[in-house]
A and B are shown apart, each in its own frame.
Chain A
Amino acid sequence: MATVFRFSAHARRATPLLGAVALLMLTGCASAAPAAEPSKPAAPAASAYPLTVENCGTEVTFEKAPERVLTIKSTSTEMLLALGLEDRLIGQAFPDGPIPDALGGEDVPVISDKVPGQEAVLTLEPDLVYAGWESNFSADGAGDRETLASLGVNTYVSPAACKEAGKPDTLRFDDVFDQIEEIGALFDVPGAATELIDEQRAALDDLTPVSDVSALWYSSGSDIPYVGAGSGAPQMIMDAVGVTNIAAGVDDSWTPFNWESVVDANPDVIILVVSDWGSAEKKIGVLQSNPATAKLDAVVNERFITVPFAATEAGVRNVEAAATIAGQLEKLGL
C-alpha cells in the first residue's frame, strides 16, 4: 500500500487499481486473524519525492520530507512523536492533555492553548501544518488550506477527521494504521511506521474482548450529553474491547444524544472521557445530580471507566485506549 504515496503524477491515475489492491489487503487483514501478515514489500523503500497525497479532498504535494512542522491538537503531535520525528516539530498548539512520558515531546513549545491564528502560524515559518481537525484550517483559525498552500505551507488533516471527502465510512484500526503508514511515507520514515503498526497490531491482538457488556461513551456535555456514536474512533475502540455502544445507531463519530435514551438503554458501564476541561469527577457529578441518571445501574454501582481525551480521537493512542478500557473492565469483573 505504501506505493500509493510514492508517485506524484502517476499516483492519481493508478488510484483505482491501488484502491482495489488496498481493499483486497484490508479484507485479507480482517479475515486472517493474528500473525498472518499480508504479503508486503520486503523492506520499505525510501520515499520518492515529489509525493502527492489526497487529503480530505485537497491535493497536497510534498517536494521533500517536511522539516518544520506545526501540529494542532494532540493526535497530530503524538503521531509525529511516536514515529520518532520530534526533531521536525517546531511547535504544537491546542493540546488536549498531557503527552504520555513514553512519547517524549517535553521540549516542543506550545504556541497556543487553542487554535492559533493565521499570522501566529506563519511567523513560525512552518513547511507543514498538521491538524487533528479539518476545522482547524479556516480563515479565522490557522488559515485556509488554499491560502496556506499559496504561501508555500503544506497542510495535512488526520484523515479520520475529514468532514466529507476522504472520511472513512466506518473507522477501523486499519484506517488508523494506514494513516501511520501515510505519515511514515510523507516524512520518509517508512521503517518506523511499519514497526509502530506491527507493535500496535500485536497489542490489539493481545486484547481479550468481553461480551454482553453495554456502554455509554460519555465525552462531554451535561444538559445534552455528547457521546461516542457508531462510526468513529469511540466505536472502533469499543468494538476492539467487545462492548456494545448504546449510541451505535447514530452514524457519526460523536453525536449530541439525550438522557432519556441513555436511561432507557441503562448501560452496564459508562466510559468517561477525561480532559483538562472535563474531569471524571465533573461527569460523575452530572450523572449523580440528575435524578433520572442517578438511578442507572452503572451510576448506582459506580461502574465507571476513564480514558484520556487525546487517546479517543483517531491516532497512535487508540490501541492504548482500548487496552486501558479492557484493563478497567477486568477490574470491574466484567
Chain B
Amino acid sequence: MTATIETPSRPAPFAGRELRRVPPTAWVVLLSGILLLSIVFSVTLGPADIRPAEVWGSILGHLGLDPTALGGQVLSPLRDGIVWELRVPRILTAAAVGAGLALSGTVMQAITRNPLADPYLLGLSSGASLGAVAVILLGFGLLLPVAAFAGALAALLATLLLAGAAGALTPTRTVLAGLAVSSFFGAVTSLVIFWSATGDTYREILSWLLGSLSGAGWPAVAIGAGALLIVGLPLMLTGRTLDAFAFGDTAASALGIGVNPTRWLLLTATALLTGAMVAVSGSIGFVGLILPHAVRLVAGQRNRVVLPLSALAGAVFLIWIDTGARTLFDPRELPVGILTAVVGAPVFALLLLRARRIR
C-alpha cells in the first residue's frame, strides 16, 4: 500500500536532491534539537538585563533542581518572576501556537489539495478572532477558547459550503471563498470593535487582529499545549490518510478511506486546533501557509514526514519571530502578526516563484 500511496516524486523545484536523501528521522532529530536550543537561548533574551546564568538558575529552580547546579544562579523573586512568569510561558506558547498553526496548514493543504490553504487564508483565524472578541466584549472571557473554536468552525463551514456550492472544490474556488469569508468575519470583528471599544481599548483588540503573544502566561501554555497534545498529536499521525487524499477522492476511497467523513473529521480537528491557538494568540498569519511549503522543499511531499517536521519548524519559527517582536524595538513591543507577515509574505512570494510546478 505504501508504495502506491506515496505522492509521485515530483522533481524538486529547486532544493538540492541531496537534501531529499537525508532520512526523515534525521530531520526530526535535527529540528527537535534546534527547537530545544531555541527555547533555551531565546529565554535569555529580553528587555530586562538578566544574565543567562540567572535565567537558567530560575528555570532549574522551578523544575525542582538545584539552581546552582550546572552553573545557575539564584535571583530575586521579582527577576525570577520575569523569567518564570513572563518569558518561559510566552516562549512555550509561541512554540505551541507555531506548531499548531503549521500543522493545521499542512492538513488543510493536503485535504483540500490546495497549496494555498491555511487557517488564515481560509478564514478560520478571522472566524476564531470574531468569536474571541465577541465573548471578551460580552464579558464571558472564560468561554474564550470555546468561542474561538466555534468561530473557526463556522468560518470553515462557510468557506467550504460557499466553495462547494459554486462547483467542485477547486483550489481557486476554495481560496476565493476563504477570501470572502475572511473579509466578512474581519469586517464583523471591526464592526464589533468600532461600536463597543471605548477610549483606547481598541489597542487591546488590535492585538487580536494582528496576533500577539504578549499576554501569554501559564494558562495560555495549558490551552496551547493541551490542544497540541489532544488534537495536534493525532493529526500528526494521519500522514498516510493525507497522502491518499493527494491522489484525489476516487483514489482515496479505492484505498478504503471514507472520503467525506474523513475529510470533515480532519477539517473539524484543524478548526479546533486553530481555535485554540487563536484563543491564546489572536490571528497570526502565514505560519500555517509557508512552513509546510518550506518543509516540503527540503523533505519531500510525504505527509508522514511533512506533518511532524512542519510542527517542529513552526514552533522554532514562531519562537524566533516572537523574540524579535519583544526585543527588536525594546522597550516597545510589536504585535507578532506584523512580523510573521513581514517575514512570511516575501518567503511565500519566493516559494511561488521558485515552485511554479505547484498549481
Give A contacts to B, CB under 8 Å. Answer: 96, 219-224, 226, 247, 249-250, 255-261, 263-264, 266, 275-278, 290-293, 295-296, 309
Contacts and interface: CB of A to CB of B under 8 A. Distances in A.
Contacts of A247: 331
- Classify chain B's interface size: 20 to 34
6 contacts: A247-B331, A260-B46, A263-B79, A290-B85, A291-B217, A292-B81
The winner among B79, B87, B199, B212 for most chain A CB atoms within 10 A is B199
Nearest to A293: B81
A255 B330 CA distance: 11
Interface in B288-347: 326, 330-333
Query: Which of A264, A292, A309 has the largest count of B CB atoms less than 10 A from its CB?
Result: A292
Contact of A224 (B78, B87, B214): B214
A224 B331 contact: no
A89 B238 CA distance: 69
Given A226-B203, A263-B78, A250 B331 contact: yes
Interface in B179-237: 198-201, 203-204, 207, 212, 214-215, 217-218
A264 B48 contact: yes
A260 B203 contact: no
Interface of B: 46-50, 77-79, 81-82, 85-87, 198-201, 203-204, 207, 212, 214-215, 217-218, 326, 330-333
B332 A223 contact: no
B331 A249 contact: yes
Contacts of B86: 259-260, 263, 292
Contacts of B326: 258, 260
B199 A220 contact: yes
A296 B207 contact: no
A328 B246 CA distance: 69
Leading 6 A-B pairs by shortest Cβ distance: A223-B215, A264-B48, A277-B198, A292-B85, A292-B81, A277-B199
Nearest to B200: A220
B81 A263 contact: yes
Nearest to A291: B85
Contacts of A96: 199
A163 B128 CA distance: 35
B207 A223 contact: yes
A226 to B, nearest CB: 6
B277 to A, nearest CB: 16
A97 B144 CA distance: 30
A249 B215 CA distance: 23
A233 B72 CA distance: 43
A221 B201 CA distance: 7
B152 to A, nearest CB: 21
B214 to A, nearest CB: 4
Contacts of B85: 290-292
B82 A278 contact: no
A260 B204 contact: no
A295 B49 CA distance: 18
A260 B200 contact: no
A277 B87 CA distance: 29
Contacts of B203: 220-221, 224, 226, 256
A257 B203 CA distance: 12
B201 A220 contact: yes
B83 to A, nearest CB: 9
Contacts of A275: 199
Contacts of B48: 260-261, 263-264
Contacts of B199: 96, 220, 275-278, 309
